[in-house]
Each structure stands twice: as C-alpha cells, then as structure tokens.
Structure 1
Amino acid sequence: METWVSEGGKGAGRSGRQTVAVREARSEGAGPDGDWPGGGRPIREGRRKKSVVPRWARLCTIFGVVLMVLSGGSLLGFEAIVARYEGAVTQEDLFGDAASGSVQEKKSDIKGPLNILLVGIDPRQPTTPPLADSIMVLHVNASLDSAYLFSLPRDLVVEIPPFKKANFPGETTKLNAAMSFGSHNPKKELPDAAQGFELLSLTVSKVTGIKRFDAGAIINFSGFQKIVDAMGGVTMYIDQDVRSEHRQPNGKPRTLKPGGGGYLGPQATYKKGTHHLKGWQALDYVRQRYPKNGVTDGDYGRQRHQQQFVRAMADQALSKDVVTNPIKLDKVLTAAGKSLIFSGRGHKLIEFGFALRNLRSDSIQMIKLPGHGVFEGGKYKGEAFKPIAEDFFAALREGTVDTFVMSHPELLNKVK
C-alpha cells in the first residue's frame, strides 16, 4: 500500500558530533548556524619547500553544496592552512561501508569518472529528523577536467527501499523523506543524519541507476552564510525578480501571522541583474521557491538558483582576492569545514581536491532535469521526471553524457 508523506518520520539516532538535526522541509524559516565542533591540527615544523604550490583544492560549499574548486598561486603557509582545514572537517562513513565490510584500502590516486552526492540540510531542533532540502550529484568525467552538476527535486515521488538499520520497511513517497526515515535508530536518543544519508544514497542510486557514489557530503545551509561573509560576499546574476518569504529588507525575520499560515511585514527583494550579496542575502535568495514571490517555476526555479549560487561561489573562491590572501583563505576554509560532513570512501577530502586540480568553475555544466506534478484525486502528491531525465541518466551510466547534452542543449542551465 502506498503512503504519501511530506513530514519527516519519527525516530532517534546516535548523539555526538555526528548528529545533525534539521528542520522540517516545508518550513523554510531561518535556522541557527549550527556549527559543528572542529579542531585544527598542530602545525608541523619542517623544511620549507619552495613557495610554488601546485594547483590545489579548496572547498567551495554551496548550500553546498560543496564543490572542490581549484586555485593557483604561491601561498606562504599554505600547507599549514590545509592541515588546519583538514582537521576542521568532520569525516564520517556516510555510505555504511564499515558495517558492510566494504571499506577498501586507500588507493594511490583517484581516477575518473566520479559521482559525488551532495546533500544540503537546514538544522533546527536536535530532535527533528533530517530532511534533505537540496540533493545534487556532481558527475566528473574520466579525465577529471569537466563535470556536470544536476539536482533531484526534493518532492520527487520515489520508492525508498527497505533499510534494516532503521527498521524501515520501504515506502513510496517524496525523496527528501529518505534521509528522515534512515536517521531512525531505536537504540539512540537523537536522529542520525549520517545514517539517514546512507538510505538517501541508496534511493538516489535507484532513481539514477548510479551503482556507487565515490564520495558524499552533508552541507549545513546556515553555515553558508559564514562562508560567503568570509569571502567578503558573493557576486551573482539574479535571473528574475524575487521577494523573500522569510526576511525583511534589513535581514531580520518577518513576523509569523497569528495562528500561522504565512508572514507579515515588508519583504526583502532581489531584483533581476548582477548583484553583490551578503551571506544572509545569498542564503535567503536560494531558499525561495514560491510563485507568489516571483519564482514562477517553483522548486525547479530554486534548484536553478542554487546551481547558479554554487557557480558564483566557485568563481568568488577562485578570485585573486581570496586565493592570494592567506588570512581570508583560512577564514573561508575554516567556515566551510564547520559546515560540512564528508565521506571519501577511503580518501581524504584534500586528496579529492588534488585529483580535481584541473577542474575549473567554467568547466562545470549546470543541468536542469524537467519534471511535472503528480496528482491523485486532484491533490498534489509530488513531482515526477519527464522521460528525457531517464535518457540523461542512461547517458551518464554509459559514458556518453557529453554527446547527449550536445544533442539536448535545452538541459543546460545558463549561468551569467
């Protein structure tokens, strides 16, 4: 029997630094920054090499989303910054490899093609089961110098497979609920986002046919505000006039209507054109999804804006203002580290960054996968992909995605 849900399931999971609590998906009010504890490593003393650092990786996290973006330049103290950053990132087994005995020994290098699953959450209450607000896949080609980034609608109607760890029998419902169902652990008090990610990855594999993800990350949306502020803001093109559901023009939260059902007061407005946004503005803009506020294509528009934001963050992180300023770079990487849980399935985050050293922001193509609403008895139940999305997934699996996208340019999200 099929059931339909838009609320998170109930459950509990392990506590500690691995625990990440998130808000209910439809409640898009601003949550706390939710920084996770992270510590820097001691700086190693040793022979200083010539200060010409190879093209290196940095983390540009979107709503993170977070991509490995690469920069060049001679940075004094760069090794020390990397060591501090690596220690600040929470690294966990997000795919259940340890329990299944499938952890492989670290290889000497990372080879393409790669598929990296990026999940954005918005923390709120520690007892609230996590729902995936943003689900993205970064597909990197075999030569590791170009990539495609595509989003999966959080309301996509899917079959979530059974998951014994959470005593979950399986269900047909919205994709974003997979993380909530998977986070349940009857032996623990609080929801476990890492375990929830595992079930979400299994579900995304069923949807896309991607048998194995090479890495994954959980990104704290609220932490993005600190990343953008650490960079000095982000310049991006806003492709339509958008009004904020949640924020006033001064950045303060709007007042809830008595009894709920909306907000009162003036709305922050984002006009079409190129603008330099502060952290709170960037985060607020990419959260908007309601047609009444100018996002005419709803959640598909929000996906597009999120992808544009990722690209803008990558461009900003690669700018000379960040790359050649060790103090600012340190602030950016530290803020990113506190906003991220990463699994490289045997490889460190920094190693992935080095492997992607030839990947540039302008070589990452943003893909839009069209869909339509699913209705039952006139009632909205979620979203479904149009057939071309299945063709795209097939091309991805078969290694013919470049040719496929050239034949279907309408799938490209243009970024100014």
Structure 2
Amino acid sequence: MARYGSLPFKEAIDYFNQKAPLPTTGWRDVYGAQHDHAFMVAGANKVAIVEGFSSALQAAIANGETLADFRKRFDEIVTKHGWDYKGSRGWRSRLIYETNIRQAYNAGREAQMADPQFQERFPYMEYRHSGAENYRPQHKAWDRMVLLANDPWWKVHSPSNGYGCKCKKFPRSRRWMQRNGRTEPDVAPPDEYRDFIDERTGEVKQIPVGIDPGFEHRPGQSWLRSLTHRQQTGQTPQVEPIPIGPVAKPDLPAPTPVNATAVLEDGLPDEQYVQAFLDEFGGEQVFKDVTGEPIAINDYLFRDADGSFKVSKDKIRHRYMRLLARGLIQPDEVWALLEPDFKTLGKYRVKRRYIKRWVLDENGQEVHGYSAFEYGQGTWTGSTVFTPHRKRGKERIPEKIKYLEDQREGVLLYRRGEG
C-alpha cells in the first residue's frame, strides 16, 4: 500500500485510481481542480502513453516504488512509444513522479481530515514549510501558522502550492494548542494577487502570490465531495461532465466540398450501408487516425449487443455513411474529452470526437452539413447532418451552427492544416 511519509493511505490509492487518462497537448489543457478526475502528462497526446504513465504511477503509489523504479518505467514508455518529451530525463521523470504522488497523498489526507469525527478531535490545521534551501518566500512566511480546519484560506492554500512544493499541513488538537501556549488560532493573512492569462480561454485569472497557476485549489476537493456523499448516504452520486478545454475556440477550417453521389439512397439493406462505410478504409482492420490512435474497423461498430444491425435507428445516418467514414479518416478537428462512465457510477471515461464540415451542391442549392464521430472504450456514436443555410442580412448562417459549436469541447488534439 502507498507510503508517502510514514502512513499508508488507501484514500490516496483510491483518489489516483479513479482518474481517467486524458491525452493533452500541453499542461494548460487540464487546469486546477480538473486534475481531480483527469490524469494527464503535459504533451503526451496519445492515449497509450498516458495510460502507461498512469499504470506506472499506480504501481508507485500502491507499492511504494521509488523514483529510481519509476524512471525505469519512464524509459520503457518513452522507448516503446517514441515520445519526444521536453526537458531532461532526470527533470521530467522527477516532475511527473513527485507531482502526482504528492498530490495523491495530499488528496488522501484531505479525505481523512474531512471526517467529522476527525475534525472534532483536530479542529485546527498547521501550515508547515518543507525547510527547502531554495524556498518560496510566501511559503516560508506561512510556516507554523495555525488556522481553523474550516478556515476559507485552506480552499486555495492547501499544499501542494506549486511544482516542487513540499509543504504540508498538519492536524492539531485543542490539547496541542494548550501545550504550545496558544489560546486562539491565527488570522489568515491577506493575499496579494498577480495576473495569469489562461491561454485556453483568454481569461485573466487572479492567482495569489506564492501559488503556481493550477495549484490554487484544495487537492481532491471535487472527488472528496463525491466520497462524502457516499459516506453519508451509502450511494454513489451521478457525475456531471467535466468542462475541460478552451472556451475561445479557433475557427473551423473551411468546409470540404462533397459530390452528391457520396450520399446513399434510402431503402438499401443494412449490410450495404455498413459496407459503404467499411469500403472507405480500403479493408483496414485497425485504422490509425490522424493523431496515431488505433480504432478497430469492422461491422461490429454497427451491431447491437444481440448482434443485430443498428444502422438506421435515427432514420438519417444511413444515407451519409461514406461521409461519416471520411470524417474519421480526414477530420477537421479531433477533441479528447471526459464524460461520465454510466457503467461505473462516480467515474469518468475518455472519448475522442472527430468533427468534419461539408458543403454539398444539391439541385443548384448550397447545402452545408457536418459529421461528428465519437469513439471511446470500444463504443462509438456518429451522425452526419445537412441543413440549408438561412439568410440573415448579408450573412449565411447554418441552422445547426450552435449545436456544432457545442460539440467542440475538451482538449483540441488536432486541427486540419496545423498538424
């Protein structure tokens, strides 16, 4: 069992194991409390790489593996997947190992300290600086400060408070306060703030001086709410989608012209619609998308659990099976996002969404549409929608443009024309 410090922490293991491995293009793709449910390694944009590091860290947390052990796993993952990471091997492996293990430990401790009986015994918390030689002045100034356990200051300042921060907070009892000559807790100091521009959204965030961007939250807080709900009610709460990724989105590439002959007729056998989809892949059994992720291509994509075809359930999709396949082969964008895993309540899963815009000449009228193909954990959903433009002044506005924009969420892994 995990030992970070001196005590084993089942809660630390549970906290880390419920995270969903999420591919990203940079550290800003997952921010702050989003780390409570998403595991990422900055710049690891392949699911297999992220899953490899997740497994390596699970072993380190559960079995007490050292940094030297983790570095062996690090080298194996890099060699196997050819990952071109930034920074030196020593620095990058230490950063991944220490940040994740420390935050899992901190989240586990937060879960223990949230117990009402624990808080009754230990109504105070003491901030302790790590004693590092190269320290942040603010962290040093907070050393030995004792506040009420429910003081709002802890919501933002609970350690860790930055990369490499080894500060901790310790529970203190009333008896401890008496022994140390304290009659009242301290008063939390006022914060100074600095601006941080979130490049995902364009938002200017106010970050307390002394805290690294992304660390201004209590570790495991959203996970802890779910845990507390289970302890109080005996039930696992439904989870909501986690809004990860940019609000300010880049413009979509121009729509791809498509010949009307690509649209299939109504009334064909289901097998023929399925074959039209499969033919676009030239017989490939395992297709690698534009990001290098594998997808199994076979007619089981279109079968229900009982083996029957599910091609025409929406009465529209079957006509656009070729375009659905082409949108997967040459998408305009690929997004990775987290959604509730309804098979395992309280957890999340990762899926990829492929988006493609089309323009079709239909009887001399310009008709616009798009494809959206979602894939994750062996299951998929897909749709292609065409709708005429309506005019608004001199503009031509797609009827479904808002719905399409709502589909563009998560981490943008690929954009046509950008790699």
TM-score range, shorter chain: under 0.3
TM-score when normalising by structure 2: 0.25
Structure number with greater Rg is: 2
